[in-house]
Structure 1
């Protein structure tokens, strides 16, 4: 690969469609632990203390019917990265108290909790292990697994500390997508955008990142090869942001997509494109929080 996207690239705001905005706002406040930054009509922006930049944006589609998981291309989950293990323990304790079903996995590079919102949008809450503990093979692929987490150890980290929601420093660590098929998807994200492939899961999933992270974007065909994009009239993913550190880098990406004849439009400094599955991507420049 001749071009690599800037190592400082991260995932920004993820906008989700929901069927009942008030119900979703209550869920994300009380169960997930986000706070409302702004609410305007059918939309709400959610984040954490210390930053006015939203992690999630919600848009109500009145009367929309939630679809089963893995029913089309679009969101598999959006992953909220907390700054330390104690924060993850507190989140776990709150999820247990809420009565929601909680999935879990130790990925070696991270410990992760999995839930679904009222519209079956997938949410991961996780913490990273220190980078020096990550293991890489000779091909530059990171070693990951799906082992059980230390549930009791996480709850012990929380001890009797009060739950006040997800803490300052929480970010969107990555996003995981159902896609229509992998070869054209890999070409778009790796060959054109310049992400690096860091892991594969047989022929059904791949993981890509910038700057040696374990993954910023997961891509899978678990909804079926050829799965159509989840329609705009249903709950699901509206778009996600790829955040670049400089305008020069943004213009480089713009030029690469334009040269490949990828349909683009610009809106107030944002490049708006769609990947081969039709998933909308906003490519933006944003400074520190």
Structure 2
């Protein structure tokens, strides 16, 4: 396969590993409120799944944790993509039953619900509208907004269905980070790694993707220009995986990142990168 200057169109987010302060408390939340299943648990780590096979989320308990600050670069939210609208409706029903505070937004390309875990790690749960309904503006950017979600419609779509946790077909759709500089983030994630911009909100936020998706990543400076990286002993994100079609695509991406002056570590199953705010990216071959 010929290497290109951008990530392959089939690139997808794989899993996300986050830090939590109390594994037992977080496991209860992620199973009962969100609907994950525990696939494996060992010591201070647990791997969570929706279908009983594919790991989507890893929880790592940290010792002597600091409180998460809103003035630091790092995780804004990770986003769980449901396969259809009735599934999102069932998620909403369970969130309402749990009594958790729920944010929401209709982004035209998708319908989304927003919550925080017990450590204030941000989580989005959403469903996409069909890709042929997504619209672009004159500059070629996807048109996205934040309108009220049709909550009654979501509940109606799931009427009479039974909540059994997250359904098969659930994946991690995207990740969204606070960064200290949009220019530096674009240099790393676009110019070096190979994502392509899809929507830009002035000098405050940038959305990027591979293969024409509305966004695999959101990047914003809402925590402040020059925001420092979240400490490793505070809740937040350790890393996420990017799944590429083959080792040649991984090698091409790693080469671009290395030539741009960033460190790359080769591994037995791919490559490991670290962005300017200490967020890890593991490049792996798709299952």
In structure 2, the residue matched to 1:97 is: 97
Provide, for residues 153-197 of structure 1, a one-character-per-residue CA deviation record: whole Å limited to 9, x for no partner. 111111121110010000000000011100011011111111110
In structure 2, the residue matched to 1:64 is: 65
TM superposition shift of 1:138: 2.9
TM superposition shift of 1:65: 3.6
TM superposition shift of 1:61: 0.7
Please list every run of 5 or more consecutive structure 1 residues that lacks an aligned counterpart in the other structure.
none
RMSD of aligned alpha carbons: 1.2
TM-score, reference length from structure 1: 0.96
In structure 2, the residue matched to 1:86 is: 86
Secondary structure of 1:126 counterpart: strand
Secondary structure of 2:55 counterpart: coil
TM-score, reference length from structure 2: 0.96
Secondary structure of 2:113 counterpart: strand
Provide, for residues 12-65 of structure 1, a one-character-per-residue CA deviation record: whole Å limited to 9, x for no partner. 11000000001101100000111111101100000112x522110000013314
Distance in structure 1 (CA, Å) of the matches to 2:276 and 2:261: 12
In structure 2, the residue matched to 1:185 is: 185
More moved, 80-89 vs 240-249: 240-249
Distance in structure 2 (CA, Å) of the matches to 1:202 and 1:229: 23
Q: Which of 43, 46, 49 is matched with 2:48 structurally?
A: 46
Contact 2:250 2:270 in 1 (8 A): no
More moved, 20-29 vs 57-66: 57-66
In structure 2, the residue matched to 1:35 is: 37
Please list every run of 5 or more consecutive structure 2 residues that lacks an aligned counterpart in the other structure.
none
Secondary structure of 2:188 counterpart: helix
Secondary structure of 2:162 counterpart: coil
In structure 2, the residue matched to 1:125 is: 125
Q: How do residues 231-270 of structure 1 correspond to structure 2 at under 5 angstroms?
A: 231-270=231-270
In structure 1, the residue matched to 2:229 is: 229
Distance in structure 2 (CA, Å) of the matches to 1:110 and 1:54: 24
Aligned length: 284
Distance in structure 1 (CA, Å) of the matches to 2:43 and 2:270: 23
Structure 1 consecutive aligned stretches of length 4 or more whose deviation exceeds 6 Å: none
Distance in structure 1 (CA, Å) of the matches to 2:269 and 2:59: 22
More moved, 106-115 vs 191-200: 191-200
Contact 1:274 1:281 in 2 (8 A): yes
In structure 2, the residue matched to 1:76 is: 76
Secondary structure of 1:97 counterpart: helix
Distance in structure 2 (CA, Å) of the matches to 1:67 and 1:278: 15
Whether 1:3 and 2:43 are equivalent positions in the alignment is no
Contact 1:195 1:209 in 2 (8 A): yes
Distance in structure 2 (CA, Å) of the matches to 1:105 and 1:112: 5
Q: How do residues 141-156 of structure 1 correspond to structure 2 at under 5 angstroms?
A: 141-156=141-156
In structure 2, the residue matched to 1:22 is: 24
Provide, for residues 219-265 of structure 1, a one-character-per-residue CA deviation record: whole Å limited to 9, x for no partner. 00111111111100111111111111111100101111122221121
